[in-house]
Amino acid sequence: MASEPEPVAWEQITKNIHTMLIRLQVGGCTCDTKSPTLDFHDVRCVYRQAAEVAGVLDTLSDQIEAALLAAEQRGRDAERALLDWMAKDICLELSWGQLDPQDEGGECGWMVHRRWGNINDTEWHLIGTGDTPAEAIAAAIRKGDTPNGQ
């Protein structure tokens, strides 16, 4: 099992557990109490224990959902920071292509180049590569290339 549950998988897991807990509750009272109020049931009653576990499961589900949403937001914030870094410098270009132009049919990937020169003698200096645009931009940042070459 993966260490980080996918949101859809987690929803299915909690649904299955809730179904099992409801089955335990239906006709599951072992203290002969005829009330749905948990306070009236004995602490050892299967009905009460199943209902309390359902409450804990709901709390955990809420916490996991909040953690997943927070992780998604951190990812969006990090991606936004990378794009903001690129946007500060009009001489930076992000492209997809062969990582080594001399190797025909070679490995392809995302690249960040710094463009130098004027229209007739433009040069591109490779400053970062990666499997994704974000990885290529992060590699360019780690290399220490600063916006506008400053």
**What is the tally of structural domains in the chain?**
2
Co-location of 18 and 64 in the same domain: yes
* pTM: predicted TM-score of the whole model, two decimal places: 0.52
In a domain, residue 83? The reply is: no
Asked whether the predicted pLDDT for residue 103 surpasses 90, the reply is no
Are 140 and 99 in a shared domain?
yes
Q: Tell me, what's the pLDDT at 111?
A: 93
Q: What is the dihedral of CA 128, 130, 135, 141, to 10 degrees?
A: -10
Residue 29: domain span: 7-78
- Model confidence at 146: pLDDT above 70: no
CB 129 within 8 A of CB 139: yes
